[in-house]
Structure 1
Amino acid sequence: MKEHTTVKSAPNAGFLERLSDTAGGMLVGFIAFCLSFYVLFTNEGRAVQTAASLDEGLSVVVSIGNIQRLDPQHEGKLVHITGVLQTSAPLFDPNYGVTLQCVKLKRQVEMYQWVEYEESKEYEEGGEKKTETRYSYNTEWKTEVVSSRHFDREIAHRNPSAMAVESFTAVASDVQVGSYYLSKGLIEKIDSFSQLSLTNMGNPQAFVIKEGNYFYHSNNPKNPEVGDLRISFWYAGASMGNSLGTVDTVSVIARQRGVELAPYKTKSGDQLELLYLGSHTSEEIFHAEHQSNSMKTWMLRGSGWFMMFVGIGLMMKIFHTLVDWFPIVRDLVNLGLKLFALCLSSSLSLLTIAAGWFFYRPLLALLLSAVAIGIIFLARSRVPSKKHQ
């Protein structure tokens, strides 16, 4: 690893310059503050709608035991099937002679390149603001081209501008489970890739060297140079007739539409088109979907609250700028502003979530509103009252 350090100096920003920067931050904060309401409010409606759709799906789904024969009485209904994957033809990479009976075959190309890392720290010295940056360079295998144009020292760490071989993914056109064909949406859900072993394969071309489970475009794979390539192959959805000795089983919940399994539209408005690797009952699949919906809901709640907290902090930063000449006062104001942003963002987030639940569960909405107002009163009670003489 190579490294070097640079130090850049700049005069301390004046009051008007800092005030101008604060004004720009206030605008960004205002946008984040407004956007947080949209994220929090719409997230609650989405969560309720998804939960209702899953409950509806579980109440009407029909589990089909014999998937080798289509039953006309299930036409248009939400069905649950479990079976092994089948594809009509193997997928093939003509450049490297790799072929496999599967749903997806991915060629992953990596190039040996320079990668720049930097660590910066700021400090004041002699009335100037200085930035010390330490740059380090290492060679690594990367799937994307790393541009060296903006490296601090490009001359000794120059990367090629493009790869001679591109990555790609081949997808089977027809995928079946028993007598049923999977829709494109269901095929897209088969995305659990495993690396293909190249043990029984030789060198596909004279200038390509096989080492382990990789094909190398290199004079010496054990000591590669910048610009060398290595290619690996990955597959998803091993189907019947493959050379691996194993076949993937999937469980699908979708609407029977002729010979195809297609999306099922619920009364709540969502579309159900579910696929899980392995053998699962319909109850297990819907339980997993409920858990996924709950996790997504809490992640968006946390994101909305954080956006609101940051937005309020940026909008209030002008008060910190006005007193940043006085260290003790500045620290106290900074702490007070953070506590204010924490209390206000928590209260407004709960109120927004309560508003989203008002049409679905009014009692829960009122409870959340009471907690939000309680946070404000609790914060005010901590503020000491002035003594009147």
Structure 2
Amino acid sequence: MTYQEVTSVSWFGRIKNSVVGVLVGIVLILAMIILLFWNEGRAVTTARSLEEGAGIVVSVSAGQIDPANEDALVHVTGMVTTNDMPSDPDFGIMVNALQLLRQVEMYQWVEESRSETTKNLGGSEDTVTTYTYSRRWSEQEHESSEFRHPDGRENPPMELRRGYFPVEDASIGEFQLSSTVIAMIDNQEPLRLGRENAEAIQDVVGRSHRVHIIDGNIYLGDDPHNPQVGDYRISYKIVPIGAASVIGQQAGAGIVNYQTNAGDRLLLVTHGIASASDMFADAAQSNAMLTWILRAVAVFMLVIGFAMIMGPLGVIADIVPILGSIVRFGSGIVAIIFGIMTGTLTIAVAWFWYRPLTSLIVIAVGFGISWLLTQRAKKNASQASASIA
């Protein structure tokens, strides 16, 4: 089912909106500059902390706690053991694992909208918005009261949500693992329930919903092949009991965050048996990846910010639509240039602030390469002139 609505904005109204966009663009640019500067500092602090940690970490046996390593950065590996079993009380599910994770979907009405805008001679603008409604499974609750056309598309409240159920106590040898460490062991795998679980789950749920087991997952509703609004699908994942490796500060019988001189707090956890060097290498790679992702996002948002600042130019020129398109294309190119320049300049300044020696070396190398290229170009030009003569 689809509905269409047409809204119009005058040329003066669009100019007013674009001026508001300028203010938003300025705030966005300032925020992205701050983000880029912070990101470089975060990356440097993390890199230095990892380098510091890699140089002082001590690999210890999990079978015995040595008081001499108290407060030291230690590396422990071994099988994780626990006497606890995570359970989901809402469905009476209990498993032999470290973590039990519940995912919930509800069959419900979902609203989607799509807008197409047409610019008119004189600068006004018409927008056709198409609202489409369909029923489907979704983990997110869609409030039907907020739909543009809610009549006949009422969703019941989503009473069941995703859940996280870890064990309360676990250890590697003599070392006790905190809830933080347990949560960082992330080798998740699906949990498939058997049809024999349906009756027990039905007893826990009660008669408000009919329970089915479909493809190893729980279905709450009358007919899994003909879902109705308000039906649920529940699936589970577990983190199985197995080996794990932990790097952190030895604190009694526990392992906690280690405060480095560089400024970071180190606590590295991975499933399986991993050497300290591999764990630090993986952490360094993750740090570099996060740094580049934040750089890319910030530069992209800078481009958007500059485009918003120059937005009024295109709106003013839209009094003749084709002229507005030309101006908007040109301002878009300028926004890309300004965004990249601002981003790279901010990164350069941050590098000089946080890593002055490295920055000077990079600048020196850059000038050196430029000088060599210039000299080579002059030499080629001289040889070309001599050949002509």
Q: What range describes the TM-score normalised by the shorter chain of this pair?
A: 0.7 to 0.9
Distance 1:31 1:362, change over 3 A: same
What does 1:146-157 align with in structure 2 at a 5 Å threshold? 146-157=142-153
Deviations 1:316-336 (A, max 9, x none): 223333332234543443233
Structure 1 position 54, deviation (Å): 0.5
Q: Does the CA-based 8 Å contact 1:312-1:345 persist in structure 2?
A: yes
Q: Does the CA-based 8 Å contact 1:174-1:182 persist in structure 2?
A: yes
Distance 1:368 1:184, change over 3 A: farther
Structure 1 position 250, deviation (Å): 1.2
Report how many aligned residue pairs link the two structures.
355
Distance 2:301 2:364 in 1: 24
Indicate yes or no: 2:218 matched with 1:215: yes
Indicate yes or no: 2:198 matched with 1:195: no
Q: Does the CA-based 8 Å contact 2:185-2:244 persist in structure 1?
A: no
Indicate yes or no: 2:304 matched with 1:304: no
Q: TM-score, normalised by structure 1?
A: 0.83
Give the stretch that moved more between structures: 94-103 or 268-277: 94-103
Matched AA of 1:227: G
Q: 1:261 is matched with which residue?
A: 255
Q: 2:10 is matched with which residue?
A: 13
Distance 1:344 1:117 in 2: 34
- Deviating beyond 4 angstroms after TM superposition, the runs of 4 or more aligned structure 1 residues are 124-129, 367-370
Q: 2:173 is matched with which residue?
A: 178
> SS at 1:58's partner residue?
helix
Structure 1 position 202, deviation (Å): 4.0
What RMSD over aligned residues (CA atoms) do the two structures have, in Å? 2.5
Distance 1:125 1:31 in 2: 31
Q: Does the CA-based 8 Å contact 2:119-2:318 persist in structure 1?
A: no
Distance 2:3 2:90 in 1: 45
Structure 1 position 339, deviation (Å): 2.6
Distance 1:134 1:227 in 2: 26
Of 35, 39, 43, which residue of structure 1 is paired with 2:35? 39
Distance 1:308 1:118, change over 3 A: closer
Structure 1 position 261, deviation (Å): 0.7
Q: Does the CA-based 8 Å contact 2:121-2:318 persist in structure 1?
A: no
Distance 1:147 1:228 in 2: 16
> SS at 2:146's partner residue?
coil
Structure 1 position 295, deviation (Å): 0.9
Distance 1:48 1:55 in 2: 10
Deviations 1:316-368 (A, max 9, x none): 22333333223454344323322322222222222211111114123256469
Structure 1 position 315, deviation (Å): 1.6
Indicate yes or no: 2:356 matched with 1:362: no
Structure 1 position 306, deviation (Å): 1.9
> SS at 1:201's partner residue?
helix
- Segments of structure 1 that go 5 or more residues without pairing to the other structure are 240-247, 371-389
Distance 2:348 2:25 in 1: 23
Indicate yes or no: 2:319 matched with 1:325: yes
Indicate yes or no: 2:133 matched with 1:137: yes
Distance 1:137 1:95 in 2: 31
Identical aligned residues as a percent: 32
Q: Which structure has more helix as a fraction of its residues?
A: 2
Indicate yes or no: 2:108 matched with 1:113: yes
Q: 1:344 is matched with which residue?
A: 338
> SS at 1:121's partner residue?
strand
Distance 1:4 1:334, change over 3 A: closer
Distance 2:343 2:105 in 1: 44
Distance 1:174 1:308, change over 3 A: same
Structure 1 position 172, deviation (Å): 1.6
Structure 1 position 95, deviation (Å): 4.3
Indicate yes or no: 2:67 matched with 1:69: no
Distance 1:95 1:315 in 2: 52
Q: 1:273 is matched with which residue?
A: 267
Q: 1:290 is matched with which residue?
A: 284
